[in-house]
Structure 1
Amino acid sequence: MTRGYTGEVSPGTPADVRELGTLTISKLSVGPMDNNAYLLRCRATGEQVLIDAANEAPRLLELAGDAGLAAVVTTHRHMDHWVALEEVVATTGARSLVHADDADGLPIPSESLVEGDRVRVGDCELEVIHIVGHTPGSIALVHRDDAGGTHLFTGDSLFPGGVGNTDQDPVRFASLINDVEQKIFDRLPDETWFYPGHGGDSTLGAERPALPDWRARGW
């Protein structure tokens, strides 16, 4: 992995780039809500996929460069994660992908994803994990790298320090914490590095001891 990668970015700063064995991850923060967008590039083929065309389309298109985009995956339907989607898709011709339960919330027609689907990035793939609670169709995307470990893109379902906002709805919170525990922490190893929709990164091992506290506090 690239030395010096921290995952600490802010609007207006350059992307932070991480080289895995088979995939390059470029993390960019866009304003005004400090959203993270992730450009994934297959190191073998050069094919690229963007996770969350959140805002600032010109910066996202500059990041993608001449290689363009095969697809844009939207992690959930909240508007701050798709403001630039229409322009990015129109400019690049990329496919727009979102979970079926959030598809109605996007500004353009999009192909539907469901639990267990695979999104190709050249020779690499992302597995779709459906995490219900932040929104009905929130997803996480996991990449298992041949030489670089397990990497997870969590949208707004999981952050360092807790799960995503459920507007103090106990039913939504129970769904979210259960899915995060059962579909992420119970399935993936502690060394899994995760990349959220806002802010810095973490590992599952660093967050795992706090799971009972998250559940007890109810957010």
Structure 2
Amino acid sequence: MVCLKKPSSNHSNASLLFLFSYSFILFCNFAPRFVKKVSNRLKPYHLGFTGLSLGHHHFDFDIGSDFFECFEETEIHVGQVKVDLDLEKQEKMLVLSFDIHGEVEVVCDRCAYEYMQPISGKEVVFIKFGSEYLEEDDDVLILPQGSHEVDVSSMLYDFIHLLVPYHRLHLPDEQGNLGCNKENLEILEELSPKETPVDPRWDVLNQLKID
């Protein structure tokens, strides 16, 4: 007869310590690489302005999945968005004018299936300078005196998400038919709770109570 010995508490603690140490080492090795990868992807969105002359300067951005993957909380993972940015450098501030258009993948509220949602919009942000960084308003940003660049990646991330409609529904096709996934609609219909018909006798009793 073989007797199995119960692992000692010291052995269990040692195993847990080993797993924790191993996980921590993996995190320490992976985290800097991830941060560096994200930083490299977003580097084109850091616009230097100290060397620019007064007046208008044009920038183009083609935003895709690589951009959205840089933000952990993103609801959008697939998309093709074109951004035309006009940076106007004035004596004491910058004016950023964004023209955004394209499409992003979202989930339809009706059939719970992905579809490409067209988006389009324009935004203007005023960049001023002060003693410290401050988001003074939705369209006013304060940068510390001596700043030489402005990061527009977070602005674009917010603008694109705000352009997605609150109610997300498949667009109708050329014949006016809804583009929803029919199989999903049938499944959702089967899973939806069915209304139980009310016995008319209850209506009579309720009426008697009211009277």
Larger Rg computed on CA atoms: 2
* TM class by smaller structure: under 0.3
Structure that is richer in helix per residue: 2
Output the TM-score relative to the length of structure 2: 0.25
TM-score, length basis structure 1: 0.24
